[in-house]
Amino acid sequence: MCLVALAWNVHPRWRLVVAGNRDEQHARPTAPLARWPDVPVLAGRDLRSGGTWMGLGPDGRMAVVTNVRNGLAPPFAGPSRGALPLRFLAGTDPAPAYAAALASEAGRYAPFNLLVADADACAYVGHRPDGERERQLAPGTYGLSNGALDAPWPKTTRLRSVLAQWADAGDTDPEPLWMALADERVADDDLLPDTGVGLALERRLSAAFIREQDYGTRASTLVLVGYDGGATIIERRFGPAGVFAGETTLES
């Protein structure tokens, strides 16, 4: 998952709203959003490593992970980051406790950002070359891509702003969120982050929705969790060159 905006205890109808895009190689084998037969999770599934990037668990538990871009990543032989959201979703640890425990072992994994939420709390935990490791989030709207939480990357700022306005207004039509996730605008060079991958690639990765043949946005996902714990997750899938490949809606 490479772009996420999250509203925690802001919207009058939903305690948690999450909008995000997963960007990945199109050749990477992936199962669409589904109810998993082996654990009580609603999520897509990475068929290479067995984990997920974003999903729902019992009682409205939510988790989403992004990688951290710091140059061209070398091969990594450790455990998959996709296990981190799955472990929270299938478990019972409160979000802050899970984040604190994971922070102590974060170095076992390639660099990552993880957001977890349950009925009572929302927490961030990360493993990056610099910056904070974990904290509990106050009510508000947050944005995350492949840098620090709320780093002012153009696509992160735009998505967070759309979600904040939508949540503050108490809107219930998700179309503005889908439109923001589908935004293909490339940022101006002077606004781009420098993550060590070169200017040409920074430009290509600066759009919320990446439409390329080999790499791009594989899924756009919305999560809506009510104050009563009832939740909905909607996934729109895309193939090479951004061709629409299907939509799934599940409720818990």
Domain ranges of the chain: 3-251
C-alpha–C-alpha distance, residues 233 and 33, integer Å: 9
Give the pLDDT score at 186: 97
Report the alpha-carbon angle 117-123-170, nearest 5: 60
Give the pLDDT score at 78: 81
Exposed, middle or buried by CB within 10 Å (0-12, 13-18, 19+), for 32? middle
Report the alpha-carbon angle 68-225-102, nearest 5: 35
Q: How far is CA 101 from CA 79, 85, 98, 210, 244, in A?
A: 16, 14, 5, 34, 39
Give the pLDDT score at 66: 96
Give the pLDDT score at 76: 72
- Cβ atoms 208, 182 nearer than 8 A: yes
Give the pLDDT score at 197: 93
Cβ atoms within 10 Å of 119's Cβ, excluding its own = 15
User: Looking at the chain, how many residues does it have?
Assistant: 252
Give the pLDDT score at 1: 63
Give the pLDDT score at 73: 66
* Percentages of the chain per state (helix, strand, coil), in multiples of 5: 20, 35, 45
| Nearest residue to 85 via CA among 129, 39, 119, 37 | 39
Give the pLDDT score at 60: 95
Give the pLDDT score at 102: 95
Residue type present at position 136: Q
Give the pLDDT score at 137: 98
- Cβ atoms 31, 49 nearer than 8 A: no
What is 3-251's CATH number? 3.60.60.10
Residues of the chain with pLDDT under 50: none
